């Protein structure tokens, strides 16, 4: 279970404080996968970063008794000057996997990513799709109670999507996901509940279909 | 295939993160090749040899019957390079590791510690290489007061770390400030008495030059190496120690206040 209590987050800018969230109270029930919907700049990624422990809220707290993955997204997590292999090694070391265990993880990611020689070339030269293969694969190699996934699957080709979906579904039998995506089909398929983020507020929907139709109405209203 | 996550103590996590970061630093600095290792270690060694050659063969000064000019030079110069390098490596610790803070265990502070650790080891190696070669030519290898000399190294590293931490926060996202600091270090170097002995300046100027903490360290290092060396009056090891402690304290405060801002791009 993850609980957000009176969560407030703002960024100081030249034009005053920009609030992303104000006094947010949400409880994510255990064993539920949650899709996060919202337009660009609504605060979806910020939410993931707060849940992932990278950014601290300006007020309020995140209470959690389960393990949460790092936010798996295209930005961050990997050092551009290092190869994928070295980046995966780094993650292994941070999470305390050494020796044979590390080798197994690297092998797993290499097989999952299927990017051939690029696996030993600097991540900085990768395309979005290649990067997402590696970042997604790396997170799949570790066991968490919650996976924070930020639009990584969206940039993959159909074959990768199919494969990642399959691996992911297997994972979701024992774990949950908090998935940011603009692909409503994907959210409907993988998530049980939905959060719609808009203008500093978050509407929670127990049923994912309800959330999706609310979001679609929201988009229509803007159009 | 999956990995089961074990609950770890904070100390275990810290150790794992530091190890991961040091390995990462090694990898990027050495480029993963033997030639990279060679370059990182021998580039400063070669620089120092060339400087030494110019100073001691072409422009040597007589310092008394027992003091070897090259050793006199190197025993102050390399510790200063440690200071300088710790300063700037710490200052760039966040920008150089940006992507890796996505893991909640990894904090900018860890990156700074990893960097100064590596810098300390690299320069210890460089030092042993240079002084070892000089010893081969029959010059002095062991300082008269090895503990004092080691203590000077610690203070240099601490000073570099403190300066680095303060400049990391103050210059975050401001490349022109970083550039200014890079320019600032040259006058500090030139006025700390490494190349030009401070005794050559009139006492009224010396008074002002001794506000520079590295000038004190240079004098103390030379005394530690050669008991017969006469330092500038007023030399005091506790003066740079205070600088180091104050800058680290200030750096910690600034870091704590701005730790969230540092993680934002």
- Tell me if A34 sits within 8 A of A177, measured CB to CB: yes
Interface test with A, best of B24, B31, B172, B261 (most A CBs within 10 A): B24
What pLDDT, on the 0 to 100 scale, is given for residue B21? 94
Q: Is the pLDDT of residue B2 over 70?
A: no
Residues of B in Cβ contact (< 8 Å) with A144: 5
Distance CA B24, CA B45 (A): 23
Residue pLDDT, tens place only, B197-215: 888 899 999 999 999 999 9
User: Is the pLDDT reported for residue B8 higher than 70?
Assistant: yes
Per-residue pLDDT tens over the stretch B37-59: 788 788 888 888 888 888 777 66
Closest CA to B112 of B147, B160, B68, B151: B160
Residue B101 CB neighbour total at 10 angstroms: 21
The answer to whether residue B12 is domain-embedded is no
Please tell me which of the candidates A94, A96, A143 has its beta carbon nearest to residue B2: A143
β-pair partners for A19: A10
Burial A57-92 (b: 16+ CB within 10 A, else e): bbebebebeeebbbbbbbebbbbebbbbbbbbbbbb
Does a structural domain hold residue B11? no
Average pLDDT along chain A: 87
Judged by DSSP in three states, A174 sits in coil
Structure confidence at residue A19 (pLDDT): 87
Please answer yes or no on whether B28 and A79 come within 8 Å at the CB atom. Answer: yes
Please give the residue that has the higher pLDDT: either B261 or A154: B261
For range B59-79, the mean pLDDT: 80
Does residue B207 fall inside a structural domain?
A: yes
| Residue labelled with tokens 């150790």 | B15
Query: By the CB < 8 Å criterion, does B125 face chain A?
Result: no
Query: In this complex, do A93 and B16 lie within 8 Å of one another by their Cβ atoms?
Result: yes
Per-residue pLDDT for B4 more than 60? no
If phi > 0 it is left, if psi is from -120 to 50 it is alpha, else beta; for residue A200 that is left
Where are chain A's structural domains? 1-67+146-155+174-223
Asked whether the beta carbons of residue B98 and residue A81 sit closer than 8 angstroms, the reply is no
Q: Which of B35, B31, B78 is nearest to B221 (CA)?
A: B78
| A97-147 tens-digit pLDDT | 888 999 999 999 999 988 989 999 999 899 888 888 899 899 889 988 889
- Please, which pLDDT band fits residue B1 given cuts at 50, 70 and 90? very low
Residue A201: its pLDDT value, please? Answer: 80
How would residue B98 be classed by pLDDT, with cut points 50, 70 and 90? confident
Does B16 reach chain A within 8 Å, measured CB to CB? yes
Give, in order, the Cα–Cα distances in Å from A218 to each of A22, A184, B14, B178. Answer: 20, 14, 45, 46
Mutation to test the B interface, candidates A8, A45, A54, most B Cβ within 10 Å = A54
Of B28, B106, B260, the CB nearest to A94: B106
B132 inside 8 A of chain A by CB: no
Q: Which residue of A has its CA nearest to B7?
A: A67
Predicted pLDDT at B3: 47
Lateral strand order in the sheet of A176-180: A68-72, A146-150, A176-180, A34-38, A193-198, A201-205
Confidence band of B230 (pLDDT split at 50, 70, 90): confident
Residues from chain B that touch A175, judged by Cβ atoms under 8 A, are none
Q: Is the pLDDT of residue A159 over 60?
A: yes
**Residue to test with chain B: of A76, A86, A98, most B Cβ within 10 A:** A76
What does the pLDDT read at residue B260? 80
Contact criterion met (CB < 8 Å) for A11 and B264: yes
**Percent of chain A at pLDDT exceeding 90:** 16
Q: For chain B, what is the domain count?
A: 1
Question: What is the per-residue pLDDT across B101-112, written as a single tens digit (0 to 9) for each?
Answer: 889 889 999 999
Q: Per the domain annotation, does B132 fall within a domain?
A: yes
DSSP conformational letter for A122? B
B187-197: pLDDT as tens digits: 999 999 888 88
Q: For A81, which of B8, B28, B104 is closest by C-beta distance?
A: B28
Say whether residue B67 is in contact with chain A using an 8 A CB cutoff. no
Distance CA B194, CA B78 (A): 10
Say whether residue B104 is in contact with chain A using an 8 A CB cutoff: yes
Asked if residue B224 lies in contact with residue B148, where contact means CB atoms within 8 angstroms, the answer is yes
* pLDDT over threshold 60, residue B5: no
Instruction: Write down the pLDDT at residue B6.
Output: 62
How much is the pLDDT for B32?
Answer: 67
Query: Of the given ranges (A16-30, B110-124, B241-255), which has the lowest mean pLDDT?
Result: A16-30
Decide if B53 contacts A131 (C-beta within 8 A).
no
B28 near A CB under 8 A: yes
- The residue segments making up the domain with residue B195 are 21-263
B chain contacts of residue A174, beta-carbon cutoff 8 Å: none
Which CATH superfamily does the domain covering A1-67+146-155+174-223 fall into? P-loop containing nucleotide triphosphate hydrolases (3.40.50.300)
In chain A, the residue whose alpha carbon lies closest to the alpha carbon of B24 is A90
User: What is the chain B residue with the closest CA to A112?
Assistant: B1
Higher pLDDT, B241 or A187: B241
Residue B239, pLDDT above cutoff 90:
yes
Is it the case that residue B85 has pLDDT exceeding 90?
yes
As a whole number of angstroms, the distance between CA A67 and CA B114 comes to: 26
Residue B140, domain member (yes or no): yes
Using alpha carbons, list the distances in angstroms from residue A130 to A117, A147, A176, B103, B165: 12, 20, 25, 20, 36
**Structure confidence by residue, pLDDT tens digits, B149-174:** 999 999 999 999 999 999 999 999 88
Binary contact (A142, B27; C-beta < 8 A): no
**Locate tokens 């295209």: which residue?**
A74
Q: DSSP per residue over chain B, as a string?
A: --BPPPP--HHHHHHHHHHHHHHHHHHHHHTTSHHHHHHHHHHHHHHHHHHHIIIIIIS-----SS--HHHHHHHHHHHHHHHHHHHHHHHTTTTTSGGGGGSTT--HHHHHHHHHHHHHHHHHHHHHHHHHHHHHTT---S-SSHHHHHHHHHHHHHHHHHHHHHHHHHTTT-HHHHHHHHHHHHHHHHTTTSSS-GGGS-HHHHHHHTTSHHHHHHHHHHHHH-TT--PPTT--THHHHHHHHHHHHHHHHHHHHHHHHHH--
Domain-located, residue B14: no
DSSP A96: T
CB-CB under 8 Å, A56 with B260: yes
pTM for this entry: 0.87
Give A168's pLDDT tier (boundaries 50, 70, 90): confident
Is B6 part of any domain? no
Query: Which residues of A are less than 8 Å from B19 in CB distance?
Result: 93
Q: Which residues of A touch B28 (CB under 8 A)?
A: 79, 81-82
Categorise residue A76: left if φ over 0, alpha if ψ from -120 to 50, beta otherwise. left
pLDDT tens per residue, range B13-33: 999 999 999 999 888 888 767
């Amino acid at each position: 279970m993850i609980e957000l209590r009176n969560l407030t987050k703002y960024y100081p800018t030249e034009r005053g404080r920009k609030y992303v969230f104000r006094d947010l109270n949400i409880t994510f029930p255990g064993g539920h996968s949650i899709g996060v919907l919202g337009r660009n700049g609504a605060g979806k990624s910020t939410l993931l970063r707060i849940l992932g422990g990278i950014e601290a809220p300006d007020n309020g707290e995140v209470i959690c008794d389960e393990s949460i993955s790092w936010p798996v997204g295209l930005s961050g997590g990997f050092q551009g000057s290092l190869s994928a292999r070295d980046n995966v090694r780094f993650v292994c070391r941070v999470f305390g996997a050494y020796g044979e265990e590390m080798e197994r993880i690297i092998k797993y990611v290499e097989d999952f990513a299927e990017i051939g020689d690029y696996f030993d070339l600097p991540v900085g030269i990768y395309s979005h799709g290649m990067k997402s293969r590696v970042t997604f694969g790396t997170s799949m190699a570790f066991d968490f109670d919650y996976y924070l996934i930020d639009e990584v699957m969206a940039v993959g080709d159909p074959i990768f999507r199919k494969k990642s979906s399959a691996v992911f579904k297997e994972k979701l039998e024992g774990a949950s996901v908090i998935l940011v995506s603009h692909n409503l089909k994907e959210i409907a398929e993988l998530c049980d509940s939905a959060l719609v983020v808009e203008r500093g507020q978050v509407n929670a929907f127990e049923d994912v279909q309800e959330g999706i139709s609310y979001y679609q109405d929201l988009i229509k209203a803007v159009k | 295939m999956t990995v089961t996550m074990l609950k770890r103590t904070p100390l275990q996590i810290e150790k794992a993160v530091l190890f991961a970061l040091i390995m990462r630093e090694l990898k990027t600095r050495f480029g993963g090749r033997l030639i990279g290792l060679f370059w990182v270690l021998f580039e400063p060694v070669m620089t120092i040899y060339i400087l030494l050659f110019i100073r001691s063969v072409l422009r040597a000064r007589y310092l008394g019957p027992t003091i070897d000019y090259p050793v006199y030079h190197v025993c102050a110069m390399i510790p200063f390079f440690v200071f300088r390098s710790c300063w700037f490596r710490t200052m760039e610790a966040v920008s150089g590791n940006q992507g890796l803070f996505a893991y909640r265990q990894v904090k900018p502070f860890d990156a700074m510690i990893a960097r100064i650790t590596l810098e300390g080891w690299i320069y210890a190696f460089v030092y042993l290489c240079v002084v070892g070669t000089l010893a081969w030519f029959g010059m002095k290898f062991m300082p008269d007061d090895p503990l004092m000399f080691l203590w000077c190294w610690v203070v240099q590293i601490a000073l570099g770390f403190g300066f680095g931490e303060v400049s990391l926060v103050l210059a975050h996202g401001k490349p022109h400030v970083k550039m200014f600091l890079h320019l600032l270090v040259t006058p500090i170097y030139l006025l700390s008495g490494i190349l030009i002995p401070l005794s050559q300046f009139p006492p009224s100027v010396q008074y002002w030059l001794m506000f520079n903490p590295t000038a004190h360290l240079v004098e103390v290092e030379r005394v530690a190496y050669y008991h017969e060396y006469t330092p500038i009056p007023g030399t005091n090891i506790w003066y740079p120690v205070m600088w180091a402690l104050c800058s680290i304290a200030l750096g910690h405060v600034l870091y704590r206040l701005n730790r969230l801002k540092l993680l934002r791009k």
